[in-house]
């Protein structure tokens, strides 16, 4: 299996290029973005050294499907998907916060709670909760949108407003969109036998000043899913939840002495472990969408992607 680690294209009208943790983003003119979902994998805000075959396609196609299925809630940046690993869309000015919403006490929230804190992003958490237990209602725990090389940080609603990162009226709109998108995502997930546990949304403003949803949505890189049929049994018996997300990668890294802290080295990822991660990503795609994952020709991924983008830009 081959993985796409990075791209180095030059397109007609290209004005800018940016390489994020997992995406290569090409700006065409002033208003168009071509976003290539690579097979890079990040954890603890660190890009791991080896790519994961089909990961980029999984992320891109899940995001594209949910952008389409939620466009009635909030407009989004997507215009087209000319390749399984590419989305073309509207350039927007991002808000400098990511809207994280959590329906269950797990992952980062559980690690914080287990460490003794009963407050997360200014939200008080009740005593006596168990790992993976559902909140009475989902909580919004925003993070800062860090610059390249820096870690996102938890931030409270009050801090966001006090620092003027987002004005109050727009922040209220972001909260409303976040809750509606999460409810829609949970509804679709449950139909497929899954629980959408937590996720994050990124928003921006287009050139008309309208708030739009940008980036990915409900993918395994931005979200966590539990299997609904085993959730209650596992919770009551203190067993780990069977889940589809990157959390198993994070746990593997933690067990091997890596949490993205200074001086720590990324452990060696074997080919068998890489194949396991790839299989998990494909499993999530088929589970959440109910569709069969179609594996395209991966012998010359770069050429295929470049050709498909050029055909879209110059029909």
pLDDT digit string, tens, across residues 189-201: 999 999 999 999 9
| Structural domain of 102 | 94-244
DSSP tally for the chain: helices H, then strands E: 8, 17
Beta strands in the chain (DSSP E): 14-19, 23-28, 32-37, 42-43, 46-47, 78-83, 86-90, 93-94, 97-104, 119-120, 123-124, 134-140, 143-144, 194-205, 211-214, 223-227, 243-244
Total tally of structural domains belonging to the chain: 2
What mean pLDDT is predicted for residues 90-109? Answer: 96
Q: Where residue 185 sits, what CATH number does that domain have?
A: 3.30.470.20
Instruction: Kindly state the tokens that stand for 231.
Output: 């959730």
pLDDT tens digits, residue range 160-191?
A: 999 999 999 999 999 999 999 999 999 999 99
- Indicate if 57 and 157 belong to the same structural domain: no
Instruction: Identify whether 4 is part of a domain.
Output: no
Does residue 60 sit in helix, strand or coil? Answer: helix
Q: Where residue 264 sits, what CATH number does that domain have?
A: 3.30.200.20
What mean pLDDT is predicted for residues 79-91? Answer: 97
Helices 247-255 and 271-289, interaxial angle, to 10°?
Answer: 160
Instruction: Identify whether 2 is part of a domain.
Output: no
- Indicate if 112 and 61 belong to the same structural domain: no
* pLDDT beyond 60 at 150: no
Residue 32: CA atoms inside 13 Å, Cβ hemisphere, count?
A: 15
Q: Label residue 152 by pLDDT band (50, 70, 90).
A: confident
* pLDDT beyond 90 at 245: no
Q: Which of 206, 228, 244 is the last residue of a domain?
A: 244
Instruction: Identify whether 111 is part of a domain.
Output: yes
């Amino acid at each position: 299996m081959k993985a796409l680690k990075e791209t180095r294209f030059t397109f007609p009208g290209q004005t800018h290029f940016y390489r994020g943790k997992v995406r290569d983003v090409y700006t065409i003119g002033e208003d168009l973005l071509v976003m290539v979902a690579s097979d890079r994998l990040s954890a603890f805000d660190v890009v791991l050294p080896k790519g994961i075959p089909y990961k980029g396609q999984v992320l891109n196609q899940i995001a594209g499907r949910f952008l389409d299925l939620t466009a009635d809630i909030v407009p989004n940046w997507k215009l087209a998907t000319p390749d399984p690993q590419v989305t073309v869309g509207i350039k927007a000015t991002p808000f400098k916060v990511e809207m994280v919403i959590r329906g269950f006490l797990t992952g980062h929230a559980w690690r914080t709670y287990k460490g003794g804190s009963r407050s997360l992003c200014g939200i008080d958490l009740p005593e006596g909760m168990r790992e993976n237990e559902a909140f009475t209602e989902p909580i919004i725990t925003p993070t800062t949108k860090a610059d390249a090389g820096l870690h996102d940080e938890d931030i409270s609603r009050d801090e966001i407003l006090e620092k003027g990162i987002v004005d109050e009226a727009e922040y209220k709109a972001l909260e409303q969109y976040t809750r509606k998108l999460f409810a829609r995502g949970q509804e679709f997930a449950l139909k497929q036998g899954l629980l959408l546990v937590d996720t994050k949304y990124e928003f921006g403003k287009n050139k008309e000043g309208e708030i739009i949803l940008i980036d990915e949505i409900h993918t395994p890189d931005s979200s966590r899913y539990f299997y609904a049929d085993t959730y209650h049994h596992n919770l009551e018996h203190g067993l780990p939840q069977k889940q589809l997300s990157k959390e198993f990668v994070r746990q593997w890294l933690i067990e091997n002495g890596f949490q993205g802290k200074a001086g720590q080295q990324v452990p060696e990822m074997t080919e068998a472990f890489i194949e396991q991660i790839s299989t998990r990503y494909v499993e999530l795609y088929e589970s959440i969408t109910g569709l069969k994952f179609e594996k395209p020709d991966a012998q010359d991924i770069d050429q295929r992607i470049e050709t498909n983008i050029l055909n879209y830009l110059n029909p």
